[in-house]
Amino acid sequence: MRILGIESSCDETAAAVVEDARTVVSSVVASQFDVHGKYGGVVPELASREHLRAIVPVVDEALLKSGTRLEDLAAVAVTEGPGLLGSLLVGMTFAKSLCMAHDIPLIGVNHIEGHIHAVLLEHAAVQLPAIALVVSGGHTHLFHADANLQYKLLGKTRDDAAGEAFDKVGKLLGFGYPGGPVIDMLAPYGNPRAVKFTFAKMKGNTLDFSFSGIKTAVLRWTEARDLSVQLAARKVLLATNSRPSTEQWLAVTPKETLDLVASFQFTVIEEMLRRLHILVDQHDAQSIIVSGGVACNTGLREAARRGGFPCPVYFPTPGLSTDNAAMIAAAAFPKLARREFSGFDLKAKANLTLA
């Protein structure tokens, strides 16, 4: 059975066809990187406009590449939230129209649950119950997933999401947008213990995250130095090349800045690993699932591998870690099995929660 997934919650227009919850038959992602890059972050109005432009060709391509006809679809799954309302509405309206016109069942999917299913889709070996960490530009959430994939929220960020912290630090240092991948690229060249950042001390739920402190510490670090020469050099680099190579970044980034980058990444990763250790012990979890854009981070993957966890840690491949529609289609399969279809009154919900 095949489901067409449609995802448009932020700055990626995506469509994918997934078969039997396990096989990605096609996955198309149109990134708006070039549109938002020069503004240093996602501009919601521009994002909706780009989704409108991309949605028809992206869905067409996903169907064509997979050799799927609309009448072959068991359902169309669409992200109902959370995300940018104007962006969500494009995918939602398109999916409803398709379903209405061709008499196909519609299934609304929570974007965060989609990120968790990106892991289940690729790793048949995942045992439940699991602890799931969803870390992206919009979310930093810890969940307990029981044997029936019912979720309990165990912790979340009280301010910035982890990816947002990477992007803000990247912006402060002139690495362009998104900063996460550049910081990941440069961190191995610095000393992760050179700058001693303090770990967030959380009152109340100590499993919650806070990244505003470390972001401010990086700001103070930049204010205490004259970075004008290196910032100007990076600006010139970005003006000539929107995706510089590691060597090009290294040529305009002194050791002291590389040390800062490495220390920042090390601290953020430690914040995540510490909480995962506590939760795995508390809940006797069989697996750890890490997903979302920040799950692409090579430092995090390595640290998790070496982390001494009593159970396996599963990550999606990088293409399924960042926003995509295969994860949305995959998350719809259990709902299809339960015949949990959505009506055409399904609403896009910017603040939709999971659990």
Interacting residues with Zn ion (CB under 5 A): 136, 323
Comparing CB distances to Zn ion, the nearer of 50 and 323 is 323
- For ligand KG4, give the closer residue by CB, 122 or 184: 184
Kindly provide the residue ranges of all beta strands, DSSP E only, lying in the chain, ordered along the sequence.
2-7, 12-19, 23-31, 73-81, 106-110, 130-135, 140-145, 151-156, 287-291, 313-314
Looking at the Cβ atoms of 70 and 303, the one nearer to ligand KG4 is: 303
Among Zn ion, ligand KG4, none, partner that 184 touches (CB below 5 to 8 angstroms by kind):
ligand KG4
The interface partner of residue 322, options being ligand KG4, Zn ion, none and the CB cut-off 5 to 8 Å by kind, is ligand KG4
Min dist CB 254 to Zn ion, Å, is: 33
Going by C-beta distance under 8 Å and a sequence separation of 6 or more, which residues neighbour residue 322? 12, 29, 136, 292, 293, 296
Nearest approach, Cβ of residue 136 and Zn ion (Å): 4
116 binds, among Zn ion, ligand KG4, none (CB under 5 to 8 A by kind): none
- Residues binding ligand KG4 (CB under 6 A): 10, 136-138, 163, 166-167, 178-181, 184, 292-294, 296-297, 322-323
Name which of Zn ion, ligand KG4, none residue 174 binds, using a CB cut-off of 5 to 8 Å depending on partner kind.
none
Closest approach of ligand KG4 to the CB of residue 45, in Å: 18
Q: Which of 243, 168, 159, 248 minimizes the C-alpha distance to 208?
A: 159
98-109 as b/e: b if 16+ CB within 10 A: bbeeeebbbbbb
Residue 287 or 321: which CB sits closer to ligand KG4? Answer: 321
Q: How many CB atoms lie within 10 A of CB 37?
A: 16
Q: 110 or 136: whose CB is closer to ligand KG4?
A: 136
Closest CB 193 distance from Zn ion, rounded Å: 31
Residue showing tokens 């980034």: 253
* Separation of alpha carbons 253 and 355, rounded Å: 43
Q: Which of the listed partners (ligand KG4, Zn ion, none) does 167 bind, with a CB threshold of 5 to 8 Å by partner kind?
A: ligand KG4
110-126 burial: b if 16+ Cβ within 10 Å, else e? bbbbbbbbbbbbbeeeb
Could you give the CA distance from residue 314 to residue 335 in angstroms, rounded to a whole number?
23
Residue 115 CB, shortest distance to Zn ion, in Å, is: 6
Counted residue by residue, the chain has a size of: 355
> Residue 302: which H helix or E strand, with range?
helix 298-306
Identify which of residues 113 and 323 has a Cβ nearer to Zn ion in the complex.
323
CB-based closest residue to ligand KG4: 293
